[in-house]
């Protein structure tokens, strides 16, 4: 009687493993507040109150002033953010982080928000609003500071290790291992934040933050798109999650510095009075200061109708 040899090929073993993994997959119901869909900027904020915020976010005991978000929408990084990554403006993300931290009170200066406020005032002036709507002048809050974000770089694949793994193993299994390692992709991002005093134009603070995340999606390549490819969805983690983490890191760095803030001074003179690095023939530096407000008692009174 002939002897029957049993041999298991790598292909059959791969198919069996893929089938076993897919056997446990099933369609799930909609999950509100899914942890896998969140970024580090999560939760909510209302006034000084916040809920479900990230434990990694730095916080302040009391606001340091009012702030508005300033995005350079003509910059190259902003074009990539919107056109390539299809992400919303960074101001939306930073608004949440800033209010949750309680370090600043956010005031609206975006084009859409300013247009909406102007529209309400136009309706008031047209007489269409109800009496007592109170959209008169003199109610807008000044922005003490401007917070400007910038993405220094954002890399969707900072490097894989597939070739190295396949080279170490070699042989007929080297290609499979190369495919596995080739799907180990590291997403990286680095972000900058600058805080400007709107009255003087002086830079108050600046910070840099970074974040990285390694995604693994080997099954989609090894088993093909119709088999284990569904398990490789983790490689589709939005680059926006890494960018969000980089901005949170930058904001945290800034808050830590602001807790120990001390204004820069130029010895012997005010800011902008000529500086201490004088050049030949230049006028001597002078003491500068902001104009002092005129006391109310000395201000000329307006003519009152009798």
> 139-170 pLDDT, tens per residue?
999 999 999 999 987 666 655 544 444 444 45
pLDDT band at residue 296, thresholds of 50, 70 and 90?
low
* CA separation, residue 247 to residues 202, 205, 215, 216, 241 (Å): 22, 15, 20, 24, 10
For residue 213, what are the contacts with CB-CB under 8 A and spacing of at least 6? 186, 187, 237, 241, 242, 245
Query: Greater confidence, 191 or 176?
Result: 191
* CA separation, residue 248 to residues 39, 52, 218, 243, 277 (Å): 10, 16, 30, 9, 37
Residue 115 has pLDDT above 70, yes or no: yes
Query: Greater confidence, 75 or 268?
Result: 75
The b/e string for 27-59 (b: 16+ C-beta within 10 A; e otherwise) is eeeeeeeeeeeebbbbeebeeeebeebbeebbe
Phi-psi region of 8 (alpha: psi -120 to 50; beta: other; left: phi over 0): beta
What's the whole-number average pLDDT of the chain?
78
In the numeric block, the tokens 């056109």 are attached to: 83
Q: Which two tokens stand for residue 299?
A: 């201000």
Phi-psi region of 185 (alpha: psi -120 to 50; beta: other; left: phi over 0): beta
CA distance 281 to 102: 49
CA distance 120 to 100: 28
> Do residues 236 and 223 make contact, with C-beta atoms less than 8 angstroms apart?
no
> Do residues 101 and 60 make contact, with C-beta atoms less than 8 angstroms apart?
yes
Query: Greater confidence, 219 or 198?
Result: 198
**For the chain, what percent of residues have pLDDT higher than 90?**
40
Residue 214 has pLDDT above 60, yes or no: yes
Residue 273: closest CA among 281, 264, 283? 283
């Amino acid at each position: 009687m002939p002897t029957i040899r049993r041999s298991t090929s790598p292909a059959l073993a791969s198919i069996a493993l893929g089938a076993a993994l897919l056997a446990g997959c099933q369609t799930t119901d909609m999950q509100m507040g899914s942890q896998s869909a969140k970024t580090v900027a999560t939760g909510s904020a209302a006034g000084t109150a916040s809920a479900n915020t990230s434990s990694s976010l730095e916080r302040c005991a009391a606001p340091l002033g009012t702030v508005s978000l300033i995005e350079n929408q003509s910059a190259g990084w902003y074009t990539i953010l919107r056109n390539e990554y299809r992400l919303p403006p960074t101001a939306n993300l930073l608004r949440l982080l800033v209010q949750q931290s309680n370090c600043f009170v956010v005031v609206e200066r975006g084009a859409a928000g300013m247009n909406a406020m102007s529209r309400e005032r136009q309706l008031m002036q047209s007489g269409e609003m109800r009496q007592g709507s109170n959209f008169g002048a003199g109610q807008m809050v000044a922005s003490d500071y401007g917070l400007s974000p910038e993405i220094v770089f954002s890399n969707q694949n900072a490097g894989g290790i597939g070739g190295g793994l396949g080279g170490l193993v070699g042989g007929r299994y080297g290609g499979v291992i190369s495919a596995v390692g080739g799907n180990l992709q590291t997403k990286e991002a680095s972000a900058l934040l600058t805080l400007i005093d709107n009255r003087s134009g002086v830079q108050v603070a600046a910070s840099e933050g970074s974040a990285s995340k390694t995604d693994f999606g080997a099954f989609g390549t090894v088993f093909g798109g119709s088999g284990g490819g569904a398990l490789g969805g983790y490689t589709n983690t939005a680059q926006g999650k890494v960018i969000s983490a980089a901005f949170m890191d930058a904001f945290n760095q800034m808050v830590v510095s602001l807790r120990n803030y001390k204004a820069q001074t130029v010895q012997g003179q005010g800011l902008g009075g000529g500086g201490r690095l004088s050049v030949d023939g230049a006028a001597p530096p002078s003491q500068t200061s902001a104009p002092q407000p005129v006391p109310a008692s000395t201000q000329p009174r307006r003519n009152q109708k009798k």
